[in-house]
Amino acid sequence: MTIITVPEQNVDVALPKAFDGVPSPLHPANVDYEAAGGNAAMKQVSDVLAWGWDEANAINDLRPNMDPEHRSATHDRLIRERVDASQRVWADKMDRARATLKAEQARVDRQLEEAAGLKSNPAHFDAITSAFFSMKPGQRAETLAQLVEQGENAALATLMEAPLFLSGLLAEQRDSIKTRVLEKVNPEGLNLSRQLAKAFAKLEDASFASLTMFADLKAGTEPGAAATRARMAAARNMAANAGQR
């Protein structure tokens, strides 16, 4: 029986890469700010993702490329410290991007509300709901389309506020009124509002994906990991050499 003895002197064993590629939610192209007219808030989000993408790639490439003047334990510590520092910067950038997006979303939505002018006239409530309730379904749909086209937004606001059993509208018809009005009065603003909402969702996707990403970048760098890595490598080498005899 061959007895394998692991040398007491640890050798330096480089870290492997954490992954083959940075998680796709961090790609800056996920937020197409140019399609939204170069919106500054969305560009900030894209820039934050670009920073995270580049930093993660840099750390991932650095893991297996140890400075020849360093021992593996030192290299591990430097990687660990860089990951911690990068994660703090990333969290700050993400918080700022969230705040900017929320403020921009609120600004755009206020403009849309003003453009829509959906303010009802209580004096006309009974007349409008009664008229719609007495219509046949097809006539309701046709009249609703006419009101949108004619810009009768006060009447439309009444139909939005009225219970369905009073207006006779379907829930889908009532819920579509605001969007149909906005598409008519400010289609660019509505598109921007939608793009901002998508950008926020992409930002949250990136935030969630980054938790695992930073953990992977830091994996194997904890104190003592370098010595364990060296012992395992030595044992593998000894076993391979013994098998060749």
| pLDDT of 144 | 95
Q: Would you say 53 and 109 are in contact if contact means Cβ atoms under 8 Å apart?
A: no
pLDDT tens digit sequence for 142-190: 999 999 999 999 999 999 999 999 999 999 999 999 999 999 999 999 9
Give 99-158 as a 3 state SS string.
HHHHHHHHHHHHHHHHHHCCCCCHHHHHHHHHHHHCCCHHHHHHHHHHHHHHCCHHHHHH
pLDDT tens digit sequence for 192-231: 999 999 999 999 999 999 999 999 999 999 887 778 787 8
| pLDDT of 6 | 41
Supply angle C-alpha 182, 187, 193, rounded to 5: 80
pLDDT tens digit sequence for 31-79: 999 988 899 999 999 999 999 999 999 999 999 999 888 888 899 999 9
- What confidence category does residue 234 fall into, taking pLDDT thresholds of 50, 70 and 90? low
d(CA 186, CA 109): 11
| pLDDT of 119 | 92
What tokens does 174 get? 């009532």
d(CA 178, CA 184): 10
Burial (CB < 10 A; 0-12, 13-18, 19+), residue 184, is middle
- For residue 1, pLDDT beyond 80: no
Give SS3 for 15. Answer: coil
